[in-house]
Amino acid sequence: MLKFWYSEHCTRQIKLLLCLITCAVIYISSLTAKLEPVFVVISLAIGFITHLIYIYQDKLSTDNPYKQGIKILNYVFPIFALISLFSIWNNENKVYWAIQAFGFMLLGLFIVSIYQNRAKRFQ
């Protein structure tokens, strides 16, 4: 998914559509159970860190011995962070909170990557 998101094939319209769909899913799941603000910030931070890891991985040369480890970290970190976040919650609203946490993680990733690749206004 990250390769598509950072590729030229993912246009601004696709990115906007994915952001809107993610916001709609978060809103619909929050009608049943709202995620606490602390967990929203943690989820956004997971998305930010995922973006930073991907950018660092992309800047490494192909012969760098750490490139494969960073690539594995890029896949494992978000999954491990979200699973550890899910383990903190009680069982009654876990599904709705998980949907919201995953959505906020995606929004964190989307916001940072879109901001970094925006067109510069001034020279």
Residue type, 61: S
Return the closest-CA partner of residue 58 out of 70, 41, 43: 70
- 119 pLDDT tier (thresholds 50, 70, 90): low
Return the closest-CA partner of residue 47 out of 71, 81, 90, 73: 81
pLDDT at 105: 92
Cα–Cα distance for residue pair 89/30, rounded to 1 Å:
15
Q: Is the pLDDT of residue 25 over 70?
A: yes
pLDDT at 14: 86
More confident residue, 99 or 59: 99
42-61 pLDDT per residue, tens: 999 999 998 888 888 888 88
Q: Are 47 and 115 in contact (CB under 8 A)?
A: no
Q: How crowded is the C-beta side of 114, counted as CA atoms within 13 Å? A: 17
Cα–Cα distance for residue pair 46/90, rounded to 1 Å:
21
Q: Are 106 and 45 in contact (CB under 8 A)?
A: no
